Structure 1
Amino acid sequence: MKNDIHDLGLVLDSRVRLVVIQSWEELRVLEAIGTLAVKRGLTWYTWNQVEGLRRLGFGSALEEADDLTDPEVALEHIRQQREPALYVFCDLHPFLQSSRLIRLLKMIAMDPADAAPTLLLVSHELTLAPELRRLAAHISLSMPSDEQLASIIRDEAARWTERNQGRRVRTDNRTLQQVVRNLRGVTLGEARLLARKLIVDDGAITQEDLPVLNRAKFSLLDMQGVLSFEQDAARFADVGGLAQFKRWLGDRQAAFQQPQANGDSPKGVLLAGVQGSGKSLAARAVAGLWGLPLLRLDFGALYNKYIGETEKNLRDALAMADAMEPCVLWIDEIEKGLGEDSADQGVSRRILGTLLTWMAERRSRVFLVATANNVMQLPPELIRKGRLDELFFVDLPDARVREDIFRIHLGSRELVVERFDLPLLAEASAGFAGAEIEQAVVSAVYCAAARQEEVENAHLLDALNETSPLSVVMAERIQALRDWARDRAVMAD
């Protein structure tokens, strides 16, 4: 609150007559303005379409004859005043298409008199006409600090204790710190609502509550569209191989989740490789390993037929990801969204420019995981060091990793892994990608069920023999990709 009052005071001292405050917390804005008005001995008024213009505190009384619920009448009344009062208009945005209203705002904003009134426009979203933009100052409320968020959680826990015969809310320090981190980017009121929802059902804040919190935060920030919240982040135990990638992530987990004041924070990685080799599953597993929400950016949903809307969609999506920090942002098959197309009138290049600027300048803790099947289609400026930390290549799994993949998929289908000859299956599946091995297991389960038999090695071997892996069907293209990556990327396994 002190910072908000200080920032508002600086704007008033600069004698800007038109101030825009975009916020969902109208009551908090009014409280800050009222506190400043009292400190400076200023008269202040509020306007909304229901109650019209009302005086708050001391100051000149309003003439009751005027219909001050009409915004144009209210603004005309303000324009004629000769006192340095504050006029706060709440939710004026539906009326900003009126040319007369725009002119009234412009006249108030350009008033050079020392005793001219100051107009503050408060709304959750407000776009000024072009002729007003350079005349207005914009203020954003400060986001709650970690200390404030922790205090809100303690307050809600104390309230729950009072209502439940002194029972204490159960939690632990690690979970509490994660909750505080995941509450960043929401308002004070939203943080209180989310904390209350975590506690109210069972009087506990546990690790199981974190996905619920992330989904609720995503809904509050209204991110549906090109950005989606992935409900189920995989565990790295469900990802076969990728040992070097797993070590790399483990070494950087603390630096990302608890960055030092002047330290570097990991930015992201590109996972390139053969189709079906587990890149998308690995991207999901990063969020699962670090206990962070996973957001997926759909490049296909970005595109809009109107000029400029596609780039705006991307900027909005990236801003939303920033608001969800700390989080993992996953862009799947990124080369399909950034590939050159002579028919797109330069949209792909402008999208690339927007993305590169965000990658280079962002200060939020958003870890980017991009996956690509054909890395050779990507522009070189995207994958240079500094924008991404590392380029990993996910190759076809070797025999050891194929055994792990069989173990994972057999176990996930509640089959007794010890009954199967994993070395034999690994040898028979040479050249298979992880996704192809999974489908062979699925096929074997279907076949055994149809014959009313238990799944055996023979079912799996038959399914493998009936499958032509991509490494055979697209042998030349796959080999070219592997040759390209040999000296250019870090092997993920």
Structure 2
Amino acid sequence: MNTNEFLDSFERTFKARVPFILVQTTERNRAVELIRTVCVRQSVTAYVHTLSKGTVDINTNRVANEDRSVIGAVDFAALQMMQRQNLTFVMTELDDVETDNAFARQLLDTVILASEKGGAIVAVTTKTVWSQVQRLGVSLRLSPPDQDETYLNICRQIDDYRGLMPIEWDDADLRRAATILGGVTKIEAENIIAMMAARGSIRKSDFSELMHAKDSVFSDVSGIERVNVRPENLNLGGLSGLQNWLQRKRPLLTADLRERAIRPPRGVLLVGVPGCGKSLSAKTIAAQFEIPLYRLDLANLMGMYVGQSEGRLKEALEAADRVAPCVLWIDEIEKGLAAGGTDSSGVTTRMIGQFLFWLQESQARVFIVATANDVSKLPPELLRRGRFDELFFVDLPTTEERYEIIQLYIQRGKLPAITPELLDELVDVSDGFAGADLEAAVREIVEVAFLNGDSDVTPDLYRVSFRNIVPLSRTSPEQIEAIRAWGRERAVPASGQAIGNSTATTPIRRSVLLG
């Protein structure tokens, strides 16, 4: 719940004199400040315990008990509540109270005493507590500041810098910054803005740095792996249909969509021929959107104990929500969520259900790029409309796309430009090649140029290198046609052209007549 929701719930719980209130949050100071606000409104006596100060009056900050230990704080609370009515004690360092132990029982006795004396024990922590204690109270969760709160906090912070440095951000930029910083705590957002202001200006060009600064806050998140993207090495040839669609969706990833109740873009599922750029697309999308890229490896989430795999998946998806906006890349998703397998324990089925629920319900700005080669193993539920924004089929490059891809790889390898006649010849020879085949053919030439110099790069070298490649479309034409047949019925062509629009890739069969 956001700040207003938390204040309302806590104040009602406080008025009811519930003897135990568990406040689950990672922002201890923010929670204590909100609790102090309620205590001032209600004109009640309350104390807060920290390891650094001991127990102090929450309003005056005067030390009430110098014993800084947690056990000493609980003892002091019990002693005071035996002598006075309606006291409140806020504990910020409760530890080892998740199970039945001596300290948990001491806390239980103190909570029971609070219920008799009209008092309350408030625990601010990220952990759970022993069920016997929890049954005597309620649990409230204080979430990080929402978009509106973050916007107001950024406005106040930026206003302090006005007149001291150049500030180019207008109201739309401030709201965009609030969207980007969703999921971080108040102090983390303040630190990020302060780091940007330390350069002496706040420019419109700072949003890329803003995203990377937020990314550094979550440099180590469980279950997902940070992928470093170097935009200068990413050139996605062809796939104009996919690229045009992405450009239309890009503004929605950081815009404020609440006015029309639009859901942020969910992502794409890329299926198709192996080696045609599905994985490269994930990196390219992250570079174009200027947001971090994380990789979710479903195979690494599998555990040997009951419930371990599902728990790891839940943690990974929650981590993705926290680092949003981001691109979440799930490579070969069919291997981790294969349908109709031999898993008798039901782990895969439960993981599919958990993933689909998150895919449907999460409102975080996580743009998913999932790739699949073996479409027959994909669970039918994953393909239902509404899970992903679009299902694209990545086919073998068309003639026009091969022109573009070959030239991209030549430029990346810093090879001398080739003649239009040679390029036409290579495009004809490479009919049926996947993007990976084209890369392999040009890479051979780049290696020769590196070892012997550009003088050894001849048209014949190009011809030999391309003719030595035997693509999958020639070794397994039936497999390619089966994949294409699936794509024609269920997917949108990523190239913007009809699937299978390239010239025939199946070898010509000659009939031999015996007389």
Query: TM-score, with normalisation over the residues of structure 2?
Result: 0.84
Contact 1:49 1:71 in 2 (8 A): no
Distance 1:459 1:224, change over 3 A: farther
| Residue-by-residue CA offset, 1:364-420 (whole Å, 9 max, x unaligned) | 232222110111101101111121222111011111101111122222233344546
Instruction: Specify the alignment match of 1:401 in structure 2.
Output: 401
Map residues 349-428 of structure 1 onto 2, 5 A cutoff. 349-417=349-417, 419=419, 421-428=422-429
Overall identity of the aligned pairs, in % = 31
Contact 1:169 1:199 in 2 (8 A): no
Structure 2 gap segments, 5+ residues each = 496-515
Give the match's secondary structure for 2:244: helix
Separation in structure 2 between the aligned mates of residue 283 and residue 65 of structure 1, nearest angstrom: 55
Q: Note if 1:243 corresponds to 2:240.
A: yes
Contact 1:242 1:492 in 2 (8 A): yes
Separation in structure 1 between the aligned mates of residue 165 and residue 211 of structure 2, nearest angstrom: 26
Deviates more, 1:347-356 or 1:264-273: 264-273
Distance 1:117 1:260, change over 3 A: closer
Aligned residues between the structures: 488
Q: Give the aligned residue type for 2:246.
A: L
Instruction: Specify the alignment match of 2:448 in structure 1.
Output: 447
Instruction: Specify the alignment match of 2:432 in structure 1.
Output: 431
Separation in structure 1 between the aligned mates of residue 68 and residue 186 of structure 2, nearest angstrom: 37
Q: Give the aligned residue type for 2:221.
A: Q
Separation in structure 2 between the aligned mates of residue 74 and residue 218 of structure 1, nearest angstrom: 43
Separation in structure 2 between the aligned mates of residue 227 and residue 13 of structure 1, nearest angstrom: 43
Q: CA RMSD in A?
A: 3.3
Instruction: Specify the alignment match of 1:468 in structure 2.
Output: 470
Separation in structure 2 between the aligned mates of residue 210 and residue 252 of structure 1, nearest angstrom: 18
Instruction: Specify the alignment match of 2:104 in structure 1.
Output: 102
Q: Note if 1:182 corresponds to 2:180.
A: yes
Instruction: Specify the alignment match of 1:42 in structure 2.
Output: 44
Instruction: Specify the alignment match of 1:230 in structure 2.
Output: 227
Distance 1:134 1:348, change over 3 A: farther
Q: Give the aligned residue type for 2:405.
A: I
Q: Measure how far apart 1:59 and its partner are.
A: 12
Give the match's secondary structure for 2:89: strand
Instruction: Specify the alignment match of 1:317 in structure 2.
Output: 316
Instruction: Specify the alignment match of 1:290 in structure 2.
Output: 289
Q: Give the aligned residue type for 1:286.
A: I
| Residue-by-residue CA offset, 1:309-345 (whole Å, 9 max, x unaligned) | 2211111121122223333222111011112553572
Q: Note if 1:488 corresponds to 2:512.
A: no
Q: Measure how far apart 1:159 and its partner are.
A: 5.6
Separation in structure 1 between the aligned mates of residue 185 and residue 63 of structure 2, nearest angstrom: 35
| Residue-by-residue CA offset, 1:197-234 (whole Å, 9 max, x unaligned) | 22323634454x44443343234246434212333275
Instruction: Specify the alignment match of 2:201 in structure 1.
Output: 203
Separation in structure 1 between the aligned mates of residue 401 and residue 62 of structure 2, nearest angstrom: 80
Separation in structure 2 between the aligned mates of residue 116 and residue 17 of structure 1, nearest angstrom: 7
Contact 1:199 1:205 in 2 (8 A): no
Deviates more, 1:318-327 or 1:38-47: 318-327
Contact 1:46 1:88 in 2 (8 A): yes
Deviates more, 1:292-301 or 1:230-239: 230-239
Separation in structure 1 between the aligned mates of residue 367 and residue 168 of structure 2, nearest angstrom: 31
Q: Measure how far apart 1:283 and its partner are.
A: 2.2
Match of residue 91, structure 2, among 80, 83, 89? 89
Q: Give the aligned residue type for 1:277.
A: C
Give the match's secondary structure for 1:54: strand
Q: Measure how far apart 1:143 and its partner are.
A: 3.5
| Residue-by-residue CA offset, 1:95-150 (whole Å, 9 max, x unaligned) | 54561222233344456847421111112x21223434444423233533545544
